[in-house]
Chain A
Amino acid sequence: MSAKSGVFSSSIVRKVWMSLTGLFLCSFLVVHLLGNLTLLRSDAGAAEAFNAYAHFMTTFPLIKITSYLLYFSILFHAVWGIMLEIKNRKARPVAYAYNNPSANSSWASRKMSLLGTIILVFIATHMYHFWAQMHFGTIPLDASGNKDLYTVVMEFFRHPSFGIPATLLYVVSMAALAFHLHHGFQSAFQTLGVNHRKYTPIIEKVGLVFSIAIPLAFAIIPVYIFLT
């Protein structure tokens, strides 16, 4: 069949990859947040609990395998998304002299590539500061013999000169993530063909709660550390 050769490079299949990697990254956000919430504990065992979690996340085999899939998904979602954006821009070589897109669509839905780029830059700096330190840096050990990432995090956000810009960067990036998720979550289901009179409104509500709750909880952590 003539069209068959073009099926997997079709615009629909390209979007399905964005949708699947996007939803996978959503699941990662939940896992990542659950661990990070330890940073909000103020009891004596908080530091060791967090370090044990960080140690587990970097050494447990199943998590390690999943982490490679995660790195791949982040890169794929970003590169693929940029490629789609370039292709989409080429579909309109001459722009409108006067356009009023806010009359028919949400800001977030039109700015997914901008929001995604902010998130990508954030992920790069975030991984440089913590992920790279944990994997390749020389971090002192805590009482249980785990790398003391807890102290690294605390000192990072309480740094006399970098503390404020670092906290701001995290808050702004989480705002970008919130808008990205608000459109992306429900959009992923539409791309996969899930559109139902009864279930789509539920997906949209879950997406709204998800897009507010997850980034908000993430953003509270650096602000809390900075203020205490």
Chain B
Amino acid sequence: MNLTLKIWRQSGPKDKGAMKTYPIQGVEADMSFLEMMDMLNEQLVGKGEEPVVFDHDCREGICGSCSMYINGEAHGPGRGITTCQLHMRSFNDGDTIYIEPWRAKAFPVIKDLMVDRSSFDRVIAAGGYVSVNTSGNTLDANAIPIPKEDADKAFDAATCIGCGACVATCKNSSAMLFVSAKVSQLALLPQGQVEAADRVLNMVHQMDLEGFGSCTNTGACEVECPKGISLENIARMNREFLTAAVSAD
């Protein structure tokens, strides 16, 4: 199939950037979206032009690198997938496809489609962990009984790959789905409850400092999340936060 690509080109963080049009021929339906991008880049390199910079790593929907806003949606059309899991059969011959980087103050563009998501790392560093004794007396995590329901919910929250689709999709560039998944996965388990109050206060504080917007419950994040992280986590984080806010010293 033949397509017209409209891609955001930006030479660096300081550059203003603009959408540029690239026609591409001979795209096969079985190609993944990233393979199509590889094909475009080969053509660009062949012509002596700068290839389009984009993040990618595992190409199997686990790493969360392939951040692309395709035709007005995070990771393009389709549900429960990342860009690498999107196939060209989702498009038709003659289509025009818009490809843009994640847009958020907290995700500044590094180059073209690649953004700096280290704001997520700083949110995690603020409390998204469990302090464990590593002196050689580490307790076996399986020795503590955990209700099946809690374990399932914690696991569901833990499937968040930190791709940033929630932020990219949210009209407020809010990171509530990401942060709430990280808060929930630990708060639901006994090992995480020890530090639960400080964790939620510190992580939300860091989230606000990074310049993410606030949640208006549009639910767009949940729809676009490749891992189907539930809005239930946001409500849980709100509960955790409000309880911690009035009880912590």
Contact = CB atoms under 8 A, between A and B. Distances in A.
Interface of A: 1-4, 6-8, 10-16, 84, 87-101, 103-106, 109-110, 112, 183, 186-187, 190-195
Interface string B130-171: 000000000000000000000000000000000000000101
B103 A92 contact: yes
A191 B238 contact: yes
The A interface is mostly helix, strand or loop, or mixed, namely helix
A98 B219 contact: no
Interface SS, B side: mixed
B224 A6 contact: no
A40 to B, nearest CB: 35
A100 B73 contact: yes
Contacts of A91: 104-106, 172-174, 211-213
Contact of B213 (A4, A92, A96, A194): A92
A109 B105 contact: no
B86 to A, nearest CB: 14
B72 A13 contact: no
B193 interface: no
B35 interface: no
Contacts of B241: 10, 12
A100 B98 CA distance: 11
8 contacts: A4-B201, A13-B242, A16-B238, A97-B8, A101-B171, A103-B72, A105-B171, A192-B238
A6 to B, nearest CB: 5
B249 interface: yes
B71 A97 contact: no
B112 interface: no
Given A97-B100, A110-B218, A1 B249 contact: yes
A156 to B, nearest CB: 35
A14 B204 CA distance: 13
Given A98-B98, A105-B220, A192-B238, A4 B248 contact: yes
**Interface-central residue, B69, B220, B231, B236, by most chain A CB under 10 Å:** B220
Given A12-B242, A91-B212, A190 B217 contact: yes
A16 to B, nearest CB: 7
B23 to A, nearest CB: 17
B90 to A, nearest CB: 13
B202 A193 contact: no
A190 B245 contact: no
Contacts of A187: 216-217
B103 A104 contact: no
A171 to B, nearest CB: 26
B231 to A, nearest CB: 7
